Amino acid sequence: MPRRAPERRLRSVPLQIFYSVCSERMLIEQLQYNLLFRWFVVMEMDEGVWNHVVYSKNRERSSRSLVHYTSRALESAGSKVVLSRANHE
């Protein structure tokens, strides 16, 4: 099965939230037959859906990357604020 774009994974998150889809397995099931879900995620009608295990692993990896990136950005911003305050004193 071809690799899925991260944008599609991000587009599926609001569907889970707004339609109270409890699990990723149920989300994948909805994507198999629900045309609204397919349209929102930008999937063709005859396109295969994701494997729920791969979807979960990709989500976890993306979350870890986001947390790592955010913490590095905040640390960098914090050190710049400290340096900025030191220069003004």
- Tell me the pLDDT tens digit for each residue of 2-51: 556 778 888 888 998 999 999 889 999 999 999 999 999 999 989 888 88
- Once rounded to an integer, what is the mean pLDDT over residues 46-72? 77
Q: In 59-82, which positions are buried (b, 16+ CB within 10 angstroms) versus exposed (e)?
A: beeeeeeeeeeeeeeeeeeeeeee
Task: Identify the CA nearest to 27 among candidates 50, 48, 44.
Answer: 50
Sorted by where each begins, the domain ranges of the chain are 6-88
| Residue given tokens 């960098």 in the structure block | 76
Cα dihedral value 19, 22, 27, 33, nearest 10: -60
What DSSP designation does 45 have? T
Could you tell me which residue, 44 or 60, shows the higher pLDDT?
44
Q: Is the pTM of this model over 0.75?
A: no
pLDDT of residue 76: 76
Tell me the C-alpha distance between 38 and 54, whole Å: 18
